[in-house]
Chain A
Amino acid sequence: MFKTLLIKEWKEKALVAVFGLGLMGIFLAAFLIIGDDQDLRELLPAAFLIIFFPFIGVMLGAGAFESEFRNGSWAYLLSRPVRKETIWLAKLTALLSIMAGFWLVFIGLMAVVPGLGEVVRGFRWFEVLDSGLELFLLVLLSSVFYFSVAFSLSILSERQLNLVFGSFFIGFAVQALLSYFAFLADGRDLLSNVGRFLWLDAYNLALVLSSLAFLGASLITFRKADFSQPKKKNLSLSKYSILFLVLAWILAVAWPVFRPGPGEKLSSQVEVAGSEAFFSTTRGLYRYDLVRDDLKKVAKWRSQFSFGGSFRIAGGQVLYGASGWNLQFNPELHIMNTDGSGKRLLVGGGPDGFPLWPGYSHFLLSPDGKMAVYLTDQNETVPGSKPDKRMVSIRTDGTGLKKLPPLDPALAGTDGYTWIRAWFEPSNSLLLMVRSQGSPWSLLTYNLTTGAQARLFETPRAGELNISPGGDKVLIVHQPDGGGSTDVTLLDIASAENALVMKIDDPGEHSWDSVKRSVWNRKGDKVAFLVRQNGGVFSPAVYLLKERRVVMLNNVRVGEDGDYRTTLGWTSGDTKLVLGVPQERSLKILDLSLAVERAIPVPPSIGEYFEVCSTDDTVLIRETQGEAHRGSIWRLDLKTEKWKKIW
């Protein structure tokens, strides 16, 4: 019976199908004739898409019940032994299939007609759309939407012209409303997301749900309809369509708000403090006790981003950034004890002084854990407030919020970036790295007590900056000539004196990457790093501060040229180095003369990229395969050479 009705509907709409195909043919001819006029080549398909598909959607929808009205065959159809739902569904299916046919023909044309596909894919209309295909999708959904409006209205009357006008009117009104909401949402940053305009997804979702709303209202009205009483039909349709429409919009708004965030993913920060390791994911902060082999989630958050929150540990406290629950991106700084107790909100939730971005270098704890310093408004505007590049300090008990005096423009330049790198306890100073356009990189001290600022070091091009565990020295990898050779310099913070540790002349493509992965030992009297030698081979090196010399084995190859995955760390009471060599899938243990003692293979389930994070007899490595990958943390017991996955 359904099939019979379906065929009948198709037969009745054959003319419309032919008409539509004819229009497409005209478009095709016009497109081919236009030839090389670039503007027209883009304009014509865009105009065709935007005009034809909604129009044909309305025409098909408006004609849904036209045959019954015109023939007076209502009573005939309704007195057949067939359910009204079947009748309704057959009409819907037939008409939608014709519309789908038009879409398929157009897609076919895109594939076959030279140039058409590229033009459509390359649409750059409206800044908000990433690609032409998004316009295509939007038009497709619009056409379905207009069809639904017309289809639902077609129950009410046989006057095609009235139906067409009415459908367009209502369709425009709804789309205008939705666009207004989307505009509001976008303007308030309500629904935007990194790299993707979420409001567009919500808009498309709203269109789809609105279409369903109209169709649902149409089905209910049709089922209940008394065709001898048109007013009742009008009432019923209006009632249900408004009801469902409101429902649809609530759902469409709820989805971006409540949709689950990215799955739990490991972020790149792993910190070890004593026998505890801390790492963060997109869902929270974890503490792992290396001695007791005990993992605990100490803080929960939901990150809107694909990376987790940053944190700093000092003086038994953990300071971490998280985002608030409400729609606006609202970063907050929280603080808690390292065992997870005493969680409290330190700063956030207001225009006054909350951090713009709780990134790793934007906040810091004092070594005793009693003070925190953070950056706010770094060259970007928080909605509602004036741009104000400031550092703010606050006691970790929540009191004493103080906006610190701004950086001296002579030292920091204007319009630059600031990173808070360390807290130098002896003078209660912050160690800041600043850089502005066209200026060299500068390392500044900022005295929190006196407000005095001084430049410690300056270099045209900085690579790594690694502060010793004691906070008194800084290992700086930089290129003093702006290119060409690479210097490794040791800077003493207190005296501001610096000494050259090593110079690498490696004029190659990657000269700025000649020294990397520096790691201090716990005492702060040795620092190990990787050096790329001639030929692109990476070798480990150790600088012994007391002896002021570098231990390095020449020509010991630990990595392929251009392979940057090797990492290192100290272990066994700082008497040995462990090298993570992903390309050989092993961990290599080296003694202080840099001879390889042993190589421990890495379990097969560990992927192609891992980093050495922690040292001592237990080595922690962090594994990741990229943004989509969950990541994992493993521990290796050096004595037993046993691996265990922790997270």
Chain B
Amino acid sequence: MSELLKVEKLSKGFGGRAVLREIGFSVDPGKVYGLLGRNGEGKTTLIRTIMGVIPRDAGVMTFKGRALTFGDADYKKEIGYIPEDAFFYGGMSVGGLLEFNGRFFPKWDARKAAEDLKRSALDPAAKVRTLSRGQQLKLAFVAALAARPELLLLDDPTSGLDVPTRRDFLRDVIRELAAGGTAVLFATHLVHELERIVDHLFILQGGRIVLDETYEKVKSLTRRAVLGFDTEPPESPALDGVLSQRRMGKDLELIIYPWNEAVEGTLRALNAARLEIEPLSLEDIFTSFVQET
């Protein structure tokens, strides 16, 4: 299966400060990818670079096998892009914007746009700047999807919106996923909803991809181990893959990835009074990965 999007040794910096350092990953058709990272870690920069909104300093981007230059515009026909903040022309009407947008995309499905618009209860005559943030998100979604893209790039579009709105958005995304094999690259720091739909995870930290793994694997191979000791807990046990550790009184909490039998054995060998081993939510996994230790 050939990759839809491939990024190799992508670097980007601003005024001497490196934000992306030799990033490399690939996106396959039809899968949902989560790009996790704390605020300011460079998710937006990465997505903007992929979209050709800003130039990269170094590296190669390939879309459907063709290498991309900064001036390339054709590949954008296959990508639906929804950024964090509203970015439409405020003076256009909803209907006008969709019509304007449609001219750029050869695969634009005006009928679908109309249907989606109706379903989202947006007034075609309303000016874009009068829409609430949630409505603007809906509009952005309609606009992006009516172009029948092969890849959806979502740059934290739901941050700042309330939970029901986020749920709605998620539902819309899922409906689209069910309809056709659109790949999704979903950058966010709101991990909770992503968890339900994600196939593959990237975690961006310190300008690099520190985790590039399927969600199943990450989930099944990350454990929280709580060891309760009668006396002072020992110093950090010699273990690989400790993402984080915490001391709470006489207890030692370790979060470990990847979990394997050797790890379990080492832990048991510490002869703690109490040993609990649990799975973690993605939110907790993410936090552990990106926490400064």
Whether the complex brings A and B within 8 Å at their CB atoms is answered yes
Interface of A is mostly: helix
**Measured CA separation A38–B53 after assembly (Å):** 58
Picked from B15, B52, B104, the residue with its CB within 8 Å of the CB of A1 is B104
The chain B residue with its CB closest to the CB of A223 is B71
Q: For residues 75 through 107 of chain A, which have their beta carbon under 8 Å from a beta carbon of chain B? A: 75-76, 78-86
Q: Which of A86, A224, A228 has the most CB of B within 10 A?
A: A228
Q: Is B91 an interface residue (CB 8 A)?
A: yes
Picked from A1, A4, A75, A82, the residue with its CB within 8 Å of the CB of B48 is A75
The chain B residue with its CB closest to the CB of A68 is B89
The chain B residue with its CB closest to the CB of A8 is B100
Q: Is A71 an interface residue (CB 8 A)?
A: yes
B73-A82 in contact (CB<8A): yes
How many inter-chain residue pairs (CB < 8 Å) link A and B? Answer: 74
**Measured CA separation A1–B76 after assembly (Å):** 14
- CB neighbours (8 Å) of B79 from chain A are 79
A80-B90 in contact (CB<8A): no
Q: Is B261 an interface residue (CB 8 A)?
A: no
Picked from B48, B75, B86, B87, the residue with its CB within 8 Å of the CB of A81 is B75
**Measured CA separation A613–B76 after assembly (Å):** 78
- CB neighbours (8 Å) of A228 from chain B are 14, 45, 48, 54
Known: A83-B71, A223-B71, A229-B14. A75 touches B53 (CB 8 A): yes
Q: Which of A80, A81, A229 has the most CB of B within 10 A?
A: A81
B104-A81 in contact (CB<8A): yes
Q: For residues 73 through 113 of chain B, which have their beta carbon under 8 Å from a beta carbon of chain A? A: 73-77, 79, 81, 83, 85-91, 100-101, 103-105
Picked from A1, A71, A78, A227, the residue with its CB within 8 Å of the CB of B88 is A71
Q: Is B51 an interface residue (CB 8 A)?
A: yes
B53-A79 in contact (CB<8A): yes
The chain A residue with its CB closest to the CB of B140 is A76
Picked from A12, A72, A85, A229, the residue with its CB within 8 Å of the CB of B87 is A72
B104-A227 in contact (CB<8A): no
How distant is A225 from chain B, measured CB to nearest CB, in Å?
Answer: 8
Q: Is B24 an interface residue (CB 8 A)?
A: no
**Measured CA separation A8–B104 after assembly (Å):** 13
A71-B54 in contact (CB<8A): no
**Measured CA separation A229–B55 after assembly (Å):** 10
The chain B residue with its CB closest to the CB of A227 is B54
Known: A4-B103, A4-B104, A73-B87. A227 touches B76 (CB 8 A): no
- CB neighbours (8 Å) of A73 from chain B are 87-89
- CB neighbours (8 Å) of A80 from chain B are 73, 76, 101, 104
A81-B100 in contact (CB<8A): no
B73-A81 in contact (CB<8A): yes
Interface of B is mostly: loop
How distant is A384 from chain B, measured CB to nearest CB, in Å?
Answer: 56
Picked from B15, B74, B81, the residue with its CB within 8 Å of the CB of A79 is B81
How distant is A348 from chain B, measured CB to nearest CB, in Å?
Answer: 57
How distant is A9 from chain B, measured CB to nearest CB, in Å?
Answer: 11
- CB neighbours (8 Å) of B53 from chain A are 74-75, 78-79, 227
**Measured CA separation A280–B11 after assembly (Å):** 71
A4-B51 in contact (CB<8A): no
The chain B residue with its CB closest to the CB of A229 is B14
B-facing mask of A219-234, CB < 8 A → 1, else 0?
0000110111101000
Q: Interface size of B by Cβ–Cβ distance < 8 Å?
A: 31
B100-A4 in contact (CB<8A): yes
A224-B100 in contact (CB<8A): no
Known: A71-B90, A73-B88. A81 touches B105 (CB 8 A): yes
How distant is B10 from chain A, measured CB to nearest CB, in Å?
Answer: 14
A75-B83 in contact (CB<8A): yes
How distant is A70 from chain B, measured CB to nearest CB, in Å?
Answer: 8
**Measured CA separation A82–B91 after assembly (Å):** 21
Q: Is A341 an interface residue (CB 8 A)?
A: no
B76-A81 in contact (CB<8A): yes
How distant is A217 from chain B, measured CB to nearest CB, in Å?
Answer: 17
Q: Is A67 an interface residue (CB 8 A)?
A: yes
How distant is A155 from chain B, measured CB to nearest CB, in Å?
Answer: 15
The chain A residue with its CB closest to the CB of B15 is A229
Q: For residues 156 through 197 of chain B, which have their beta carbon under 8 Å from a beta carbon of chain A? A: none
A-facing mask of B44-66, CB < 8 A → 1, else 0?
01001001111100000000000
- CB neighbours (8 Å) of B103 from chain A are 1, 4
The chain A residue with its CB closest to the CB of B72 is A83
B89-A76 in contact (CB<8A): yes
**Measured CA separation A80–B77 after assembly (Å):** 7
**Measured CA separation A518–B52 after assembly (Å):** 85
Picked from A71, A72, A226, A229, the residue with its CB within 8 Å of the CB of B91 is A71
Q: Which of B75, B79, B88, B103 has the most CB of A within 10 A?
A: B103
How distant is B161 from chain A, measured CB to nearest CB, in Å?
Answer: 18
Q: For residues 31 through 84 of chain A, which have their beta carbon under 8 Å from a beta carbon of chain B? A: 67, 70-76, 78-84
- CB neighbours (8 Å) of A223 from chain B are 71
- CB neighbours (8 Å) of B55 from chain A are 224, 226
B51-A84 in contact (CB<8A): no
B91-A81 in contact (CB<8A): no
A79-B51 in contact (CB<8A): yes
A81-B88 in contact (CB<8A): no
- CB neighbours (8 Å) of A70 from chain B are 90
The chain A residue with its CB closest to the CB of B57 is A226
Q: Which of A8, A67, A74, A79 has the most CB of B within 10 A?
A: A79
**Measured CA separation A388–B85 after assembly (Å):** 82
The chain A residue with its CB closest to the CB of B53 is A78
How distant is B97 from chain A, measured CB to nearest CB, in Å?
Answer: 10
Q: Which of A78, A223, A227 has the most CB of B within 10 A?
A: A78
- CB neighbours (8 Å) of B101 from chain A are 80
Picked from A74, A81, A227, the residue with its CB within 8 Å of the CB of B77 is A81
**Measured CA separation A78–B54 after assembly (Å):** 9
The chain B residue with its CB closest to the CB of A4 is B103
Known: A4-B100, A4-B104, A74-B53. A81 touches B83 (CB 8 A): no
- CB neighbours (8 Å) of B91 from chain A are 12, 67, 71
**Measured CA separation A12–B89 after assembly (Å):** 10
Cross-chain pairs A/B with CB under 8 angstroms, 28 sampled: A1-B103, A1-B104, A8-B89, A71-B88, A71-B89, A71-B90, A71-B91, A72-B86, A73-B88, A74-B53, A75-B53, A76-B89, A78-B51, A78-B53, A79-B52, A81-B74, A81-B76, A81-B104, A85-B71, A86-B73, A226-B54, A226-B55, A227-B53, A227-B54, A228-B14, A228-B45, A229-B14, A229-B15
Q: Told that A78-B51, A80-B76 touch, could you supply 7 new A-B pairs with CB distance under 8 A?
A: A1-B103, A71-B88, A76-B89, A80-B101, A81-B105, A226-B55, A228-B54
Q: 9 tightest CB-CB pairs across the interface, nearest first?
A: A81-B76, A4-B103, A81-B77, A76-B87, A79-B51, A78-B53, A83-B73, A80-B104, A79-B81
